[in-house]
Every structure is written in structure tokens, then in C-alpha cells.
Amino acid sequence: MRLNQVTVTMPDLDAGWNFYCILGLRPVVDARPRYARFVCPDGDSTLSLHQGVSGGGGGGGGTMVYFECENLDETVGSLSEAGLRFVSGPEDKSWLWREAELFDPGGNRIILYSAGSNRLDPPWRVDRGRPA
């Protein structure tokens, strides 16, 4: 099984469009004001935006989307210079990932992270005896 897409909800797809373009995703479907779809710059996973009211409200609940970055600190610096506002990070976490957090215009939590081999093979992996 392979992840195809994550769909997040937000009231203003134009604001979402601008945010995810700055983040580096490439548009593949523009059916605004109701729907938009992007492909990630690395790999073939996609992210869709659907018009509606998000349950997150910028308070840390609701949808969380994780984007893995090879050079997290550099990426966060570039995105900050482009006008995106991070609420935390980059910082090392106890689960051996380095993360930075921001919210999209719909209040969905966006985590940019770097995990290396700990992404799929952390020291506490359930089936530790088998390769990832």
C-alpha cells in the first residue's frame, strides 16, 4: 500500500494555494474555489485542498501534515524569508526527529521534519529484529 494523498480543509483556497506554492508544492489541479491539488517536489505524493471549515482552528488540533526535508534548517530559513511564520523549531525532539511547525491558512498543522533512519527504524521499533 502506498499513500496517494492527504486532503486538508480550509475556507479560503486562494490563501491555501499561495501558502502551499510558497512551501514548494507544485499545482496539478486548480478547481478553486472548491478544490486544488498539489504534488510534492520529491516523490509522487499529493496534497489536496477542499473548501470548508477546518476543525483545527490553529490551536494544535485537527489535521497534521508532515513533510520530510533533507536540509530542514536551510528549508525553514528560506521559507521564513519568503514570509511563512513558524511557531516552533527547528528543534530536536525526544523521538529523534528534528522538527519545525507552522499552520496553513486553514489552521492545519504543518510539520517540516528530518528523521534520517529513525523515520522507519527508530530504536523502539516493534519488529526491531527485521529490516525496515
Q: What is the pLDDT at residue 120?
A: 82
CATH class for the region spanning 5-119: alpha beta
Where does residue 57 fall: left (phi above 0), alpha (psi -120 to 50 degrees), or beta otherwise? Answer: left
Domain ranges of the chain: 5-119
Section 15-38 average pLDDT = 95
In this structure, is the dihedral angle defined by the CA atoms of residues 38, 61, 94 and 1, taken in order, positive or negative? negative
How confident is residue 68, by pLDDT bands cut at 50, 70 and 90?
Answer: very high
Q: What is the pLDDT at residue 44?
A: 86
How confident is residue 128, by pLDDT bands cut at 50, 70 and 90?
Answer: low
Burial (CB count within 10 angstroms: exposed 0-12, middle 13-18, buried 19+), residue 117: exposed
Asked if residues 108 and 62 have their Cβ atoms less than 8 Å apart, the reply is yes
Section 27-50 average pLDDT = 93
120/2 Cα distance (integer angstroms): 14
pLDDT of 43 above 70: yes
Q: What is the pLDDT at residue 41?
A: 92
First to last CA, the chain: 15
pLDDT of 1 above 80: no
| pLDDT > 90: percent of the chain | 68
pLDDT of 3 above 90: no
